Amino acid sequence: MTANSYALLQVVTKCSLQRSSLPPKLEHSKNPLSSTFKPILLKELDHFPNISLDVPKAIKDTSFNLLEAFVDFIYEFVDQPLLPCQSNFEPVEEIGEATTVDIVEGNIPDDFPEGVYIRNGPNPLFGGLKSTRSIFGESRHMWVEGEGMLHALYLNKENGGKWKTFYKNKHVQTDSYNMEKDRSKPGFLPAIQGDSPAILLSNLLNVLRFGVIDKYLSNTNVFEHANKYYSIAENHMPQEIDIRSLQTQGNWNFPSESWNRPFTSHPKKAPGTGELVIIGIDAKKPYFELGVISADGKKMVHKADLMFDRCAVCHEIGVTQRYNVIMNFPLTVDISRLVLGGQLMKFEKDGYARIGIMPRYGYANSIKWFEVDPCCVFHIINCFEHNDEVVVRACRAHQSVIPGPSSSVNHLEKLSKWIKRETSSIDDDSHEFTKESIFSRVCEWRLNMKTGEIKEKKNLSGDEFAMEFPIINEKFSGFRNKFAYLQVVESTELFVSGFAKFGGLVKLHFEEKKTFNMDEEDELIKAEYHMFPKNTFCSGTSFVPKPEGIDEDDGWIITFTHNENENISQVCIIDAKKFTKEPVAIITLSSRVPYGFHGAFMPLTS
């Protein structure tokens, strides 16, 4: 940071020590929460040195207005343009009332459960993701940002057994969403990726103006607990959703003494008890806390500081019958690194990686740690106990695709070049892609709780395809399972667009092997593929168990797809036992569904 930049930052801070009036939509928010991707640079304004709190409203309003004028004068918001091949990442408008949609191919099976198939994903306000330019440099939203939008397909049976299907979409109306919607223009400054001085000042100005460090995205996942439904991203508490109307009903708030930080995007139900196991990370100590919520969702029955010595990004937690499985890998958030001119978030290639096995209600001193090779894991497939071992299966990459290349307002144009560089062989000029790169492969760790031995298989399914966004039959979460289903990365699309697109699905058979050259080291598990037509890609895949099913794979795979040639979005239903066959039903939706993140099927009763 230059001397002039630092001096100006001091002036802005001093001018704003009398706490400014927060926009009405954020007034009722409790302590500003830090985030995996949006760590607190400064403590909340309530923690500033003692200042007279008896400040006339006129002075508060004047202070806020001065800050707004400063931002408007110094900052220029710039749209991040999309390439033609990125067109289905462009946001859509809310359609209003649910619309009837038609089955164009096949039939929904008679024994398919009634319910709603719902998927979350980023849908930025005001035309798309933004960058900012200022005298302090550039900052920008990452490609995973953007306000959450829910896309829902309702499957209902009429009298006589005829299926009727409806589609609806709606933004998740977080406090910050409502505030920006009321302003009719961007308010929050991008606060994670860009030039160090710009990120530092963005953090400060967001806190001073709005009391929180960044928008509550709520764009990653949807889940159910105690018969309530929630939208979630890990920079805030979950938002409760009316699953039938998609109306946001407010934040899931615990008393601050119980939990004063965000949830992970992937909370897990503990086998047997129905309790919800959650984690929350912060850029200041305590870096990592674990909580267990009662089965009725009303209280925190256990909480522990795991005593981490760094802020390691942890997107998911695993559970078995007795244990919590903790991933402590070297994708880190470090404010001191940012202050020194480095990246706020960075994958530390030389950093340590370890997996912790923790009793359900344990503490930091009860965790058994297993050191593994440095890598990046966002998603766990499943964890379970087998004899003396805890088995952990996950999608493992050699490094992280987040946060991506260094600062540039034309970031999206440079992303694909960065991906090509990061995946190219360093040893020669052949441009062959390495087996271990930013592409995820299915990995298995077997961790012996008695001997401490680690057995690691870095690639169970071969090099033909990279894969991500794993799902299983949730009845087997925490137990030994035979099958998993993942989305298959279309690597050529990733190189061209810089964004991951998924051109098909894979069904993995963990207990069926495929051997090459009779060499045990080359033993792979069986994989079946369901590939979509050219230029058709999927997102939000979920497993729907058959209500009276017996086998683990008795059920269907349901997924949103988009045909880029025709610009048509559909929902495909695939028989999990006949995985390679044509879908049993294809439903064409009334409007385009942009690519997104995680989905779920929620059975509904009248």
Residues of the binding site for Fe cation: 266, 315, 379, 598
**β-sheet with 368-372: strand ranges across:** 318-319, 323-328, 353-359, 368-372
At 330, list the tokens. 């070297």
Rounded CA separation 212/29 (Å): 9
Q: Which residue has the tokens 């223009």?
A: 185
**Residues of the chain by 3-state class (helix, strand, coil), percent to 5:** 15, 35, 45
Q: Indicate the angle between helix axes 3-15 and 57-74, nearest 10 degrees.
A: 160
As beta bridge partners, residue 557 has: 543, 574
Residue pair 17/51 in contact (Cβ under 8 Å)? The answer is: yes
Among 461, 512, 468, smallest CA distance to 490 is for: 468
Among 412, 351, 442, smallest CA distance to 81 is for: 412
Among 596, 590, 602, 604, smallest CA distance to 94 is for: 590
Among 312, 305, 308, smallest CA distance to 334 is for: 312
Rounded CA separation 334/400 (Å): 16
Rounded CA separation 227/248 (Å): 16
Return binding residues: 266, 315, 379, 598
CA distance to 221, 480, 561, per residue, from 545 (Å): 19, 17, 20
Sign, CA dihedral 255-258-261-263, equals negative
At 47, list the tokens. 């923690």
Among 334, 331, 336, 369, smallest CA distance to 349 is for: 331
Kindly provide the residue ranges of all beta strands, DSSP E only, lying in 449-523, ordered along the sequence.
454-457, 467-471, 483-489, 502-514
Amino acid making up residue 274: G
